[in-house]
Amino acid sequence: MEKKIFSGVQPTGNLHLGNYLGAIKNFVELNNDIKNDCIFCVVDLHAITVKQDPNILKNNTRETVATFIASGIDPKKSIIFNQSKVKAHSEAAWILSCTARTGWLSRMTQFKEKAGKDKEKASVGLYSYPVLMAADILLYDTTHVPVGDDQKQHLELCRDIAQKFNNDFKVEDFFKVPEPLIQKEFSRIMSLKDGTKKMSKSELSDLSRINLTDNADQIINKIKKAKTDPLPMPTSKDELENRPEAKNLIEIYSSLSGLTLEKSVIEFSGKNFSKFKESLSQVLVDKIQPISKEIKKLLSEKSFLDKILKEGCEKADKIASNKMKKIHEIMGF
């Protein structure tokens, strides 16, 4: 079956190993299968749910495109565009916000985490963020959405919105109900400083993450300083359950080297962490360094990146405005 793939990444800078292993690596594989139609969106409207400096946002948008391409996404085989340039996204988000129920949104854990203690000060956009995400997905008759584990709840909401809209307006199958594509293993990469916290762009300490623009020295230094525990390397998979930092580092190693978790555990069983960290640094440098070099090269070719976005926007706009026309008919506008 032909799959229609859609996914989005926020242009909020510091794209990291979690973004790569949880999402972008999967985008590349899906894009390499000629049976798939892929759309990868730089979700700049999502980025402004928290304060952004306009000039930095513009650069981060280009950097996200550069990261897609440097990681192996072929712009000739997929549509790469930025959300704000395709007007149907904001319009569909409004319409779908009248389908979504406040009770559904109030259960979203990402809002609770991002809004923190003072919810009253969070933007309305941060609250309705998942509705815009549903609009992104549903405008393109998407069948599959590759994301990291943290987006699972948002995708369930998207499915609920699609189903309720189809029921409310008696338009069976108008919005396709999309399937999440979340990797079974290694779909949640944790901070290098705290194995119980997600690796994140917004974490203050740069030592908590491997950025996709890091060079070999930075990677080696970060792995050297990564938190571990006083015990030797685990001797079984079960032992990992109570050792979050060891678990995260071994998972990163497994994911990058294409080994099962069991095999990686056996490889380093009972050894000390410093030996393991050397091997981990090596696989990281082998994988990240070429990407990092390519990102830097592409960033000096601004007009090339802008052209990719412009062409992508034109293609996306055709699909989305066509769907929007049908939505207008359904709504009685």
Instruction: Give contact residues for ligand TRP (rule: CB under 6 A).
Output: 6-8, 10, 43, 46, 133, 136-137, 145, 147, 151, 154
Q: Tell whether residue 9 is a contact of ligand AMP (CB under 6 A).
A: yes
Does 150 help bind ligand AMP (rule: CB under 6 A)? yes
Angle of helix 273-299 relative to helix 261-268, nearest 10 degrees? Answer: 130
- CB count, 10 Å around CB of 59? 14
In DSSP terms, which residues pair with 16 in a beta bridge?
211
CB nearest ligand AMP: which residue?
Answer: 22
CB 116 to ligand AMP: min, Å: 17
Cβ atoms within 10 Å of 256's Cβ, excluding its own: 20
**What is the footprint of ligand AMP within residues 197-226 (CB under 6 A)?**
198-199, 201
**Measured torsion, CA atoms of residues 293, 297, 299, 303, in degrees rounded to the nearest 10:** -150
- Is-contact 49 231, C-beta < 8 A? no
Residue 101 CB, nearest approach to ligand AMP (Å): 24
Question: Closest separation between CB of residue 41 and ligand TRP, Å?
Answer: 6
Query: According to CB under 6 A, which one of 49, 84, 142, 151 is a site residue for ligand AMP?
Result: 151
221 HSE (CA, 13 A, CB side): 8
Nearest distance from C-beta of residue 267 to ligand TRP, angstroms: 32
The minimum distance between CB 318 and ligand AMP, in angstroms, equals 25
If one asks whether residue 67 binds ligand AMP (CB under 6 A), the answer comes out as: no
Residue 23 vs 280, nearer CB to ligand TRP: 23
For ligand TRP, which is the closer residue by CB, 126 or 145? Answer: 145
Measured between alpha carbons, how far is 212 from 65 in angstroms, rounded to an integer? 13
Catalytic center residues: 114, 198, 201
CA distance readout (Å), 153 to 131, 147, 160, 217 = 12, 11, 11, 37
Check: CB of residue 6 under 8 Å from CB of residue 43. no
Q: Which is nearer to ligand AMP, 26 or 264 (CB)?
A: 26
- CA 259 – CA 266 distance, rounded (Å): 11
Using CB under 6 A as the binding rule, whether residue 19 contacts ligand AMP is answered as yes
Residue ranges in contact with ligand AMP by CB under 6 A: 9-10, 18-19, 22-23, 147-148, 150-151, 187-189, 198-199, 201
